[in-house]
Amino acid sequence: MWIKGFLGCAVVAFCVFTGYLAGGKWRARKAFYGQFARFNERYLTELDYSRRPLSAFLQEQTYAGEFGRAVECLSRREPPDFSRRFLTAEEKTEAENYFGTIGKGDTLSQKNYFSSKRKALGEKKEESEREAKRRGALYLKLGLLAGLAILILIL
């Protein structure tokens, strides 16, 4: 009986962990757009006040995940690779255009472009936060239910 109980707990834990991993796409998307919106605000402030070289601006703060890799590519003057699974083709194109515009042209045109992106990035950030909360919880619950179903079959 103890073996069945231990095996059942292990199966439930594994299924919940699998549900957590399945929701990782939505958490990564949330982190990406959160950092993207914050970067845009910082860059607009930089254009308004400091106007330091781009390399100094990029080294000031660290970023993680997909967005961190994009910033690293930008600091090396390489085009970023947005081949991860959580961005749609349209979002990849928008992000590539965004990163292709950084540091190009005069201050006024950059300020206008990045100001126009502020609202869209804020909406994407809010949408990704809602989706991460909703779908992350959904996958955890599905994992728990699948684990409990397997536990019933074991017992």
User: pLDDT for 117-154, tens place per residue?
Assistant: 889 999 999 999 999 999 989 999 999 999 999 988 88
For residue 70, the number of C-alpha atoms closer than 13 Å in the C-beta half-sphere is 20
pTM for the full predicted model: 0.81
Closest CA to 13 of 151, 118, 113, 107: 151
Cα 139 to chain centroid distance, Å, stands at 18
Closest CA to 33 of 72, 75, 65: 65
If you search the block for the tokens 């549900």, which residue do you land on?
19
Report the alpha-carbon distance of residue 120 to residue 108 in Å, rounded. Answer: 19
**pLDDT of res. 44:** 86
**pLDDT of res. 133:** 92
Mean pLDDT of all residues in the chain? 86
More confident residue, 78 or 12: 12
Question: Residue 77 contacts by C-beta under 8 Å, 6 or more apart in sequence?
Answer: none
Are 43 and 58 spatial neighbours (Cβ–Cβ below 8 Å)?
no
pLDDT tens profile 79-130: 887 777 778 888 888 888 888 888 787 778 888 888 888 899 999 999 999 9
More confident residue, 41 or 104: 41
- The secondary structure of residue 77, as a DSSP letter, is T
Q: Which amino acid is at 108?
A: L
